[in-house]
Amino acid sequence: MMPRLGINIDHVATLRQARGEGYPSVVEAADVSLRAGADQITIHLREDRRHIQDMDVDAVRLVTMKYGKPLNLEMGCNEEITDIACATGPEWVCLVPENRQERTTEGGLDLISDENFERVKATCERLQAEGIKISLFLESDLETLKRAALLKPKAIEIHTGEYARKFTAGEDISNFIEDYKVARDFLVSEKIGCHAGHGLSIESVMPLVENKLFEEYNIGHWIVCRAVFDGLGNVIKRFKEIFDQG
């Protein structure tokens, strides 16, 4: 089966927040992504609101509903954000660890510590009671995956950041592929969906797709970066046309 592509549009909001203007619009980003064939929109409402803002969540939700596609809301285990998730009712919530100092999500949830496990469990229970499907952002180690299965998530999203960095540096990635196969087989046996995300590019996603490792990929930063160069020349030509016309 063809894997699903979720587009993370956080960094469209990053550009907007950098100038404090109303553009670029995350609504337009969601609309363009879904019109181009994306299967889902992913946004991360962080505690520090560094990119996506509260009002973006409802606005993007309206776009995904218009297209009949899922909204995947990434969030930390935080009560205030859980309230927003319950009020918005996205199809999916992906729970991630959040640390105020980090530049981006740096790894999967720690489910080995009992304290963290209980915190994640409480958040899962609140969201699941609202009918929201849960995915947990995790490393691919089996011990963590087995703990995660106790929380009855609909999916696990495997953190691919380290893999993607090694792939891009031209290093050997065969151990990641082997780990991901073991993780996938475990998740299939538990009837839990197997998703992937973080740091992926059009090149680094290829071995994962060829090996049929994941049902869903959530990709953002690289797509927004690539879109700059796929669009820059066209925008400049439009300015020059206007100048030429006098």
CB atoms under 10 Å from CB of 207, counted, come to: 16
Least distance in angstroms from the C-beta of 241 to ligand PXP: 33
- φ/ψ region of 44 (left if φ > 0, alpha if ψ in -120 to 50, else beta) reads beta
R_g (Cα) of the chain, nearest Å? 19
Alpha-carbon dihedral sign for residues 181, 171, 106, 130: negative
Residue 219 CA, chain-centre distance (Å), reads 6
- On whether the CB atoms of residues 197 and 213 are closer than 8 A, the answer is no
Smallest distance, Å, CB 29 to ligand PXP? 13
Beta bridge partners of 136: 95, 156
From the candidates 11, 44, 51, 195, which is the catalytic residue? 44
Contact 70, 91 (CB under 8 A): yes
Query: Looking at beta carbons only, is 194 or 240 nearer to ligand PXP?
Result: 194
The CB-nearest residue to ligand PXP is 197
Which lies closer to ligand PXP via its Cβ, residue 47 or residue 237? Answer: 47
CB of 164: closest distance to ligand PXP in angstroms?
8
Active site residue 47: no
Burial of 172 (0-12, 13-18, 19+ CB in 10 A): exposed
Q: Which is nearer to ligand PXP, 104 or 128 (CB)?
A: 104
**Catalytic: 198?**
yes
Establish whether 51 is a catalytic residue.
no
Helix (H, G, I), strand (E, B), or coil: what is residue 121? helix
CB of 246 to ligand PXP, least distance (A): 42
Among the listed residues 74, 139, 157, 216, the single catalytic one is: 74
Of 51, 159, 195, 198, catalytic:
198
Residues in contact with ligand PXP by CB under 6 A are: 8, 10, 44, 74, 94, 96, 104-105, 137, 157, 197-200, 218-222
Active site residues: 44, 74, 198
